[in-house]
């Protein structure tokens, strides 16, 4: 090809990309439910009817529409949304493409397609009020911006502002741009929520999306998506100048056009005065927190945790009644609570002896923990302190914890794939805590009861970060929280040596439990608890015998099963340095086939969980303790 042709081609390309028409049919996320509809022809009738309704609405100039056909055994619910900077024709073109792509998921009873230009989703039950769900996230471009630091500052500022403004804007859409440093470059971004969720739902969703896009910010482009919202930025413009939204009025306190529209008349005066006072108070208390810590990023500050009122939590949990009690974790009792706005939460009453230093640090610690957003970590929503009483408010997880599925009422109900997913995604959650969050958080108490499962059996790790509240240097000895025997790495249990490899060890033990269906502390015969047995079998190349007999052997390959056992044993090696990091575990688990370059796995130290560990001696003595899952409190430390 000669130069002329190249230039002409470039011009055509430029016209195509800069021109008015671009429905942005670039897939950024797609997926279908693992469940099938019961009566496909019935369902297709309903689905086709909803798609026709959606099309009608878009033809009428709308950019967002929902439709439902709740008839027959297989109801259909559908939703479409176009980015508002598209032309109406591009919006319809985008929908047409999405409609044909989403059909490839048939007969799944739910599916979604997200393009840069529009999103389409259908389900067999109503999902219109959903704002966040597990497993929706984003991606970063693979090129780094030229002035990465200035770019990152500009993007994070812009996205943070969009996150604040968009929920307050009618129609839940905002497009804005910002200058990068002193240069003439600009960065462009949009935020959008589905119009069938509430203002707070929009805020929640954007907060999660922002958390997910946060690691991108030096890339030239990035986006994040969740069921209720969409966030995108780019170093090049993707909407016209006259399509930008003036977001400044919505960044000011009380600057919500929506609120103003709802509140009217004379009563309004008093209410808005109250609101303003509340806002001013919130701003002031935030400022105070910032100056205390000093070095908090200006971004995290905008999405800080909620300070709940004690009174509200008392009434939400019906005065911490027995019926509302969900259980007792290492750090205190947990209650189910229904807030005034209908949101269901889990409230944890901390019952650890906290030092003064901790209480004064409490808010900052809560702030730090509440900024941890990952789909495999339970979210901390906020806190409340009243006198010595400290309460933490978490998202509520309807399904119970992993131990119920391994050893409890629902024993044996998880199949191989589900178990493998739990193993992989728990590793991802831990890798995030250790390596991706800006502070390395060591959990110190990984065990099945701290791994909660959502509706899709995806794991979410609970209670992370709380060990940070404990006094330094002695948490392993003087409290009952920082570890549970059977799961605790020997160097931590005995010498208090803390590193992220402590979590790797506990994780390895949990993996053995997941695939064997046996408790780590359960003795088959004396002197043969799980880790020891696993090691013996491995040495004799019999480790497949460890796999839970209740699992269908046709559903996994021997290679895969062996690999998981070997990874678990790598994680529990005596020397912390020999154990892999959690991100290495993720890579190993995701690799196909057996482990490459057969790793040399060294022997674990065997601490018999039936016995007390004493002092500095490296293993155990045999004085008895009745409770097999005795916690570290029972370790006499010196």
Pick the binder of ligand NAG from 17, 39, 360, 591 (CB under 6 A): 39
Q: How far apart are the first and last CA of the chain?
A: 79
Choose one: 28-36, 427-435, 603-611, 612-620; the region binding ligand NAG (CB under 6 A): 28-36
Pick the binder of ligand NAG from 41, 291, 341, 540 (CB under 6 A): 41
Pick the closer one to ligand NAG by CB: 11 or 240.
Answer: 240
318/347 Cα distance (integer angstroms): 12
Pick the closer one to ligand NAG by CB: 35 or 281.
Answer: 35
19/456 Cα distance (integer angstroms): 43
415 touches ligand NAG by CB under 6 A: no
**Would you name the residues annotated as active-site residues?**
445
What's the Rg (C-alpha) of the chain? 27
Q: How far is the CB of 119 from ligand NAG (least distance, A)?
A: 19
242 touches ligand NAG by CB under 6 A: yes
Task: Using CB atoms within 10 Å of the CB of residue 216, give its burial: 0 to 12 exposed, 13 to 18 middle, 19+ buried.
Answer: buried
Q: Which residues pair with 466 in a beta bridge?
A: none
Q: How far is the CB of 99 from ligand NAG (least distance, A)?
A: 8
33 touches ligand NAG by CB under 6 A: no
Residues 211 and 375 sit within 8 Å (Cβ to Cβ): no
Tell me how crowded residue 3 is: count the other CB atoms within 10 A of its CB: 7
366/285 Cα distance (integer angstroms): 15
Q: How far is the CB of 52 from ligand NAG (least distance, A)?
A: 9
Considering only residues 129 to 168 of the shown chain, the ones binding ligand NAG according to CB under 6 A are 142
Where do the H-state alpha helices sit in 377-500? 402-406, 416-431, 475-478, 490-495
Choose one: 42-50, 53-61, 124-132, 532-540; the region binding ligand NAG (CB under 6 A): 42-50
3-state helix, strand, coil in the chain (%, to 5): 40, 20, 40
96 touches ligand NAG by CB under 6 A: no
Pick the binder of ligand NAG from 25, 105, 107, 150 (CB under 6 A): 107
Q: How far is the CB of 244 from ligand NAG (least distance, A)?
A: 11
44 touches ligand NAG by CB under 6 A: yes
The encoded tokens of residue 66 equal 């929902």
Pick the closer one to ligand NAG by CB: 239 or 507.
Answer: 239
335/391 Cα distance (integer angstroms): 10
Q: How far is the CB of 136 from ligand NAG (least distance, A)?
A: 20
Pick the closer one to ligand NAG by CB: 40 or 359.
Answer: 40
CA 265, 271, 275, 281 torsion: positive or negative?
positive
The count of C-alpha atoms lying within 13 angstroms of the C-alpha of 483, restricted to the half-sphere facing its C-beta, is 31
Which residue has 């509440």 as its token pair? 370
Q: Is 171 left (phi over 0), alpha (psi -120 to 50) or beta?
A: left
φ/ψ of 391, rounded to 5, equals -125, 140
Q: How far is the CB of 184 from ligand NAG (least distance, A)?
A: 20
621 touches ligand NAG by CB under 6 A: no
Longest CA span, the chain = 88
Pick the closer one to ligand NAG by CB: 151 or 335.
Answer: 151
Choose one: 38-46, 147-155, 197-205, 619-627; the region binding ligand NAG (CB under 6 A): 38-46
Pick the binder of ligand NAG from 12, 240, 278, 283 (CB under 6 A): 240
Binding mask 46-75 for ligand NAG (x = CB under 6 A): --x-----------------------x---
Residues 537 and 545 sit within 8 Å (Cβ to Cβ): yes
Residues 495 and 616 sit within 8 Å (Cβ to Cβ): yes
Size of site (CB under 6 A) for ligand NAG: 14
17 touches ligand NAG by CB under 6 A: no
Q: How far is the CB of 37 from ligand NAG (least distance, A)?
A: 9
Q: How far is the CB of 38 from ligand NAG (least distance, A)?
A: 7
Strands 221-226 and 64-69: unpaired
Q: Which residues are at the interface with ligand NAG (CB under 6 A)?
A: 34-36, 39, 41-42, 44-45, 48, 72, 107, 142, 240, 242
């Amino acid at each position: 090809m000669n130069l002329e042709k190249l230039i002409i081609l470039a011009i055509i390309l430029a016209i195509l990309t800069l021109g008015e028409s671009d429905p942005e049919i670039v897939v950024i996320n797609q997926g279908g439910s693992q469940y099938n509809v019961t009566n496909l022809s019935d369902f297709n009738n309903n689905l086709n009817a909803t798609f026709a309704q959606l099309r009608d609405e878009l033809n009428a100039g709308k950019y967002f529409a929902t439709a439902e056909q709740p008839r027959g055994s297989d109801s259909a619910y559908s939703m479409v949304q176009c980015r508002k900077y598209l032309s109406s024709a591009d919006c319809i073109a985008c929908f047409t493409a999405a409609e044909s792509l989403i059909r490839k998921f048939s007969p799944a009873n739910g599916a979604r397609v997200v393009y840069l230009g529009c999103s389409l989703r259908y389900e067999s039950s109503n999902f219109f009020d959903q704002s966040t769900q597990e497993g929706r996230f984003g991606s970063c471009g693979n090129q780094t911006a030229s002035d990465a630091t200035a770019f990152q500052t500009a993007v994070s500022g812009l996205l943070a502002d969009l996150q604040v403004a968009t929920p307050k804007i009618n129609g839940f859409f905002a497009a804005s741009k910002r200058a990068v440093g002193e240069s003439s470059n600009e960065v462009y971004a949009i935020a959008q929520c589905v119009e069938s969720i509430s203002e707070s739902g929009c805020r929640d969703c954007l907060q999660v999306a922002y958390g997910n896009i946060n690691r991108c910010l030096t890339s030239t482009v990035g986006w994040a998506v969740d069921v209720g919202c969409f966030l995108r930025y780019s170093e090049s413009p993707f909407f016209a100048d006259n399509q930008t939204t003036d977001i400044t009025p919505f960044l000011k306190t009380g600057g919500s056009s929506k609120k103003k529209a709802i509140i009217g008349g004379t009563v309004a005066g008093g209410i808005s005065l109250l609101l303003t006072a509340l806002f001013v108070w919130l701003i002031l208390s935030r400022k105070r927190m910032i100056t205390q810590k000093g070095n908090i990023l200006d971004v995290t500050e905008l999405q800080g945790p909620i300070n709940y009122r004690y009174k509200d939590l008392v009434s939400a949990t019906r005065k911490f009644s027995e019926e509302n009690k969900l259980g007792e974790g290492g750090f205190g009792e947990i209650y189910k609570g229904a807030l005034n706005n209908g949101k269901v939460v889990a409230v944890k009453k901390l019952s650890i002896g906290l030092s003064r230093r901790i209480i004064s640090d409490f808010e900052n610690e809560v702030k730090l923990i509440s900024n941890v957003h990952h789909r495999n970590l339970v979210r901390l929503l906020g806190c409340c302190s009243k006198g010595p009483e400290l309460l933490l408010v978490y998202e509520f997880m309807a399904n119970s914890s992993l131990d119920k599925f391994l050893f409890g009422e629902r024993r044996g109900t998880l199949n191989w794939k589900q178990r493998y997913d739990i193993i992989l995604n728990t590793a991802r959650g831990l890798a995030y805590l250790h390596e991706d969050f800006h502070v390395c958080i060591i959990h110190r108490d990984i065990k099945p009861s701290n791994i909660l499962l959502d509706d899709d059996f995806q794991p979410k790790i609970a209670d992370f970060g709380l060990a940070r509240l404990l006094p330094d240097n002695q948490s392993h000895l003087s409290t009952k929280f920082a570890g549970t025997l059977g799961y605790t790495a020997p160097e931590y249990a005995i010498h208090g040596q803390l590193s992220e490899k402590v979590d790797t060890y506990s994780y390895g033990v949990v993996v053995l439990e997941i695939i064997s269906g046996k408790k780590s502390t359960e003795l088959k015969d004396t002197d043969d608890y799980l880790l020891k047995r696993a090691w013996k079998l491995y040495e004799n190349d019999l480790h497949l015998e460890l796999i839970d007999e209740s699992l269908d052997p046709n559903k996994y390959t021997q290679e895969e099963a062996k690999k998981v056992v070997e990874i678990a044993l790598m994680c529990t090696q005596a020397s912390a340095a020999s154990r892999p990091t959690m991100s290495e575990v993720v890579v190993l688990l995701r690799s196909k086939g057996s482990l490459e370059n057969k790793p040399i796995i060294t022997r674990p130290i065997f601490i018999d969980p039936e016995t007390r560990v004493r002092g500095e001696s490296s293993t155990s003595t045999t004085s008895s303790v009745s409770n097999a899952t005795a916690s570290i409190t029972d370790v006499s430390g010196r």
